[in-house]
C-alpha cells in the first residue's frame, strides 16, 4: 500500500479563503512619547489618554497605536487609574460631562 491519499482527500494548497494576498508595505508607526520627550503620561490628563481608547471604551493595542512596550504599559496603567477615579468612562454608554 502506498502512503498517498486519494485525490478527493488531499488538502488544498491555499487556505479556505483562497490564496493569501500580501499586504502592501506599511510604514512602521513611531512611539509619540519616544519621539517627543516633553509629552508626559499622566492619569489626570484625560485629553491625552483619549487617543488611546476606542469608541467602545477599550484600550487600543500597541500594534495599532504605535507605542513602544514601555510607554504602552504606562498608558494602560494611567487609563486604568483615570477610570478608577471616574475621569474616563469604563464602558461606551457612559457620557462625559
pLDDT of residue 82 exceeding 90: yes
What's the CATH fold of domain 42-97? 30s Ribosomal Protein S18 (4.10.640)
Single out the residue of 83, 87, 51, 91 nearest to residue 67, CA to CA.
51
Q: Domain map of the chain by residue range?
A: 42-97
Enumerate residues 6+ apart whose C-beta is below 8 A from 43: 49, 77, 78, 79, 81, 82, 85, 87
Residue 27, CA distances (Å) to 30, 51, 64, 67 in order: 9, 20, 12, 14
Q: What is the pLDDT of residues 53-63, one digit of tens each?
A: 998 889 999 99
What is the mean pLDDT of the segment spanning 69-93?
92
Whole-prediction pTM: 0.68
20 or 79: which carries more pLDDT confidence? 79
Amino acid at each position: 500500500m502506498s502512503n498517498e491519499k486519494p485525490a478527493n482527500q488531499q488538502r488544498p494548497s491555499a487556505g479556505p479563503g483562497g490564496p493569501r494576498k500580501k499586504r502592501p508595505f506599511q510604514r512602521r508607526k513611531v512611539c509619540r512619547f519616544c519621539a517627543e520627550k516633553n509629552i508626559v503620561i499622566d492619569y489626570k490628563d484625560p485629553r491625552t489618554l483619549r487617543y488611546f481608547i476606542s469608541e467602545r471604551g477599550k484600550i487600543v493595542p500597541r500594534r495599532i497605536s504605535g507605542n513602544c512596550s514601555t510607554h504602552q504599559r504606562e498608558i494602560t496603567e494611567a487609563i486604568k487609574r483615570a477610570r478608577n477615579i471616574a475621569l474616563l468612562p469604563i464602558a461606551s454608554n457612559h457620557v462625559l460631562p
